[in-house]
Structure formats: C-alpha cells, structure tokens
Structure 1
Amino acid sequence: MPESRSRKKPAYTPPPEAKAEKGNPPWLVPTMVGLMLLGLAWVVVTYITQTAWPIPNIGNYNLLIGFALIIAGFGLTTRWR
C-alpha cells in the first residue's frame, strides 16, 4: 500500500510585536477643553446680551457659532485616549 505524502508545514513565525500605544498629543486636551469653554461662554454672552454680542448684527447666528465651538470640542474627545 502506498504511503501518503507528508505535508510540509511552514516554520512557525511569531506575530509581530504590537506597537505601544501612544499617549495624547500635548495640545489635545487643552484645545478640547478650551473650545468647549469658549463655546459655552459664547452662548452665555449671546443670551445675556439678547443676541447683541459677541458679534453685533448677526442675531441668532451667534448661537450657531457658540454651538459649533462646543461641537468641535466634543469632536476632539474622539481622539482622546
């Protein structure tokens, strides 16, 4: 009876080492917190001055700018490790 061919298995090679996780860039947290606080201050000033400030004559778009700053700050939280 003929013998079956033996399968040649490739030599074991260990998986490459996982890269160490990098920390946050030093600018991330201050920028994130700064944008959220600036947006909050922008919205508060807009409400207190009845849409007259921080930028006069654009009305409720001041609220849009404030909320855009807050959303940009929250967007940066997705990069936080």
Structure 2
Amino acid sequence: MPKSKVRKKQDYTINPTNRTPVKISAGPSPVWYVVLMLGFMVAGLLWLIIYYLAGGLIPVMADIGPWNFIIGFALMVVGLLMTMRWR
C-alpha cells in the first residue's frame, strides 16, 4: 500500500510588531453598581411574587393584567444584563 504524502503546515505565528497594546482599566465595580444590579433582580422577583399572591387585590396590578409578567421579567433581565459589566 503506498504511503500518503505528509503535508508540511506553514507556521502561523503572530508577528509581535503588528499588535498594538490596548490599555484596559480593569478595576473593581463600585458598590452602588452591585447594589443596583441586585436591586433590579430582586425587584423583578418581588414584583412577580406579589402579582401571584395579591395581584387581584392591588388596583394597579389588576388593571395591568398580564403585563405584570413583562414588567417583572424586564426588571430581572436588566439586572442580568448589568452582570456582564460587573467586575
């Protein structure tokens, strides 16, 4: 059986002269940012819990109806999106 030819791969090294250094200010997030982020998530969770338990008794929530789900989940999503910027 004939032996297959071995292909020689080219060396793909990165030329260090082509790279420009980028300075990243990687400090920790301020305390208010973490509090706000967690506040949004907890507020969304509380909104949904209150809607399930007493949604019919609260006039504003009764008038909004199924939009309460969107409000609750939107608050939680805002908090989750803020976690991407948290350091």
* TM-score (normalizing by structure 1): 0.67
Q: Hey, which of these two has a bigger chunk of helix by percent?
A: 2
Bigger relative contact order, structure 1 or 2, given CA contacts below 8 A and separation 6+? Answer: 2
Task: Report the CA distance shift for 1:21/1:45 in structure 2 as closer, same or farther (over 3 A).
Answer: same
Q: What is the TM-score with the length of structure 2 in the denominator? A: 0.63
| CA positional deviation for 1:76 | 0.4
The alignment covers a number of residue pairs equal to: 66
Equivalent residue in structure 2 for 1:71, among 57, 77, 82: 77
User: Which residue number in structure 2 is paired with residue 60 of structure 1?
Assistant: 66
Taking every aligned residue pair, what percent have the same amino acid on both sides? 36
- For the pair shown, the structure with the greater C-alpha radius of gyration is 1
Structure 1: gaps spanning 5 or more residues: 1-14
Across the aligned residues of Structure 1 and Structure 2, the Cα RMSD in angstroms comes to 2.2
Gaps of 5+ in 2: 1-19
Deviation at 1:61, TM superposition (A): 0.5
